[in-house]
Amino acid sequence: MADLHVGDRVLALDEDGFLEDPAEWDEEVAAKLAETEEVELTDEHWRVINYLRQYYADFGVAPMVRKMLKDTGLSNAEVYELFPSGPGKGACKIAGLMKPTGCV
């Protein structure tokens, strides 16, 4: 298990770099997690991140990739352009969600 240093906070990460406690997430944490993924956040990234966070808040799980693509209007290629490690590893990690277990 690793730690993420955000300001004066030290947040626990799991072995894959996901937050152990999603409640600790905020935009500053997202920016630090984005650095670990070598992603520079833009408005388009935030649109996906906010969608993922809202979906997770509503349903308690990350959306399936097809659902995310339909709801955001993005193509799979566009999501991978924004988050090179993919919607599960990259987007969900930066959004502060738990590590997805299915096809995200």
d(CA 33, CA 5): 10
d(CA 27, CA 53): 12
Compute the 3-state secondary structure of the chain and give helix, strand, coil in percent, each to the nearest 5. 50, 10, 40
Supply the residues annotated as catalytic.
103
